[in-house]
Amino acid sequence: MKDLVNFIAQELVDDPQSVSVKEIRRGNQIKLELQVSKSDMGRVIGKGGKIANAIRILLRVSGEKTGKKATLDVVEP
């Protein structure tokens, strides 16, 4: 799941080197923290949060296949 978020974010931003994804596991829950450069925040979040929510939906589906609950937080640099 970490690789999925990393791939999607790198394809969306202008500076793929600034993308970092941190994974925090607690039992069957996985929390992913996505960090990009300040200038690319809008590209990852999208208008009204639509892109970030679409990534969360993909994570939820991916997590259900493996029996885990995945969440995504976009953190400021």
For residue 22, what pLDDT band results from cuts at 50, 70 and 90? very high
Q: Which fold has domain 2-75?
A: GMP Synthetase; Chain A, domain 3 (3.30.300)
Structural domain spans, the chain: 2-75
For residue 65, what pLDDT band results from cuts at 50, 70 and 90? confident
What per-residue confidence (pLDDT) applies to 66? 86
Cα dist from 62 to 11, 38, 53, 54, whole Å: 19, 28, 14, 12
What per-residue confidence (pLDDT) applies to 76? 87
Q: Which ranges of the chain would DSSP assign to H, the alpha helix? A: 2-12, 41-45, 50-66
Taking only the tens place, the pLDDT of each residue in 37-63 is 999 999 999 999 999 999 999 999 998
What per-residue confidence (pLDDT) applies to 37? 94
What per-residue confidence (pLDDT) applies to 48? 94
Taking the model in full, what pTM does it have? 0.88
